Amino acid sequence: MRGPLPRLVAIVVILTITFMLVARILFGGPNPEPGKCVGSDGALVGCGARAALYKLVREVDDGRECPSESAKLYQFRSSLYCGVALRGAPATSDDVVPCLLLAGARLARRAEDLAFARGFAAGAGSIDGDEKTGVVKVRGPDWRIFYVLYEGQIDPGLRAIVADPAEVVFVTYVTAASRHRKQVAAATRCARGEQPAA
């Protein structure tokens, strides 16, 4: 069949497909909804992904409708969503971190600071975590490491901490623990949420 009608139909089909492809590129992707997670660039990511920072908890008309624990407001298409930090505020009280430092523990800023603990097998010493304070203490042969978890964070384990201290809120350590018993005792009291002895 020849004539203007088949050409017109073909043009309409091509334009429709083009419009659908352009719309999918501009507005497509996963559908945002409560329970999905967002990365640092504002794009939806899997909640188990390392890049996931916030979880969408509620679709709202206005940011004032967000729950108090919501730290971020996201807009996807024409909808607003409240985002709650996956790694929220530290679970510790405000004095635990200064307490550890005043006790004599040293701050671990880089993986090199914790090189003495590389290859340490967890079964060779002891690991104590305090859910109330969010502080984990690892006892090595002649050293101690104290690290502070984010609220609700699953303990990534010593190997991950030694590789990258930024995995948690804060990491301190004491080497030559047998010579620094007072510092170890004071830091241990801090990890339990107690004040070190004066």
Q: What value does the mean pLDDT of the chain take?
A: 77
Over residues 51-84, the pLDDT tens digits come to: 677 778 788 887 777 776 666 777 777 788 887 7
> Can you give the pLDDT at residue 57?
77
155-176 exposure pattern, b = at least 16 Cβ within 10 A, e = fewer: eeebeebbeebebbbbbbbbbe
Over residues 101-139, the pLDDT tens digits come to: 889 999 998 999 999 998 875 544 455 665 556 788 899
> Can you give the pLDDT at residue 10?
75
Residue 131's alpha-carbon distances to 84, 155, 170, 174, 191, in angstroms, are: 21, 11, 16, 22, 10
- Phi and psi at residue 90, to the nearest 5°: -55, 145
* Number of H-type helices and E-type strands within the chain: 4, 10
- The three-class DSSP label of residue 163 is helix
pTM: 0.54
Handedness of CA 168, 88, 126, 106 (dihedral sign): positive
- Work out the average pLDDT over 154-174: 87
Higher pLDDT, 86 or 140: 140
Return the half-sphere exposure (C-beta side, CA atoms, 13 A cut-off) of residue 98. 4
Using 50, 70 and 90 to split pLDDT, how confident is the model at 89?
Answer: very low
Over residues 9-59, the pLDDT tens digits come to: 778 778 777 766 655 544 445 567 777 887 766 778 777 776 677 778 788
- Work out the average pLDDT over 148-164: 81
Using 50, 70 and 90 to split pLDDT, how confident is the model at 196?
Answer: low
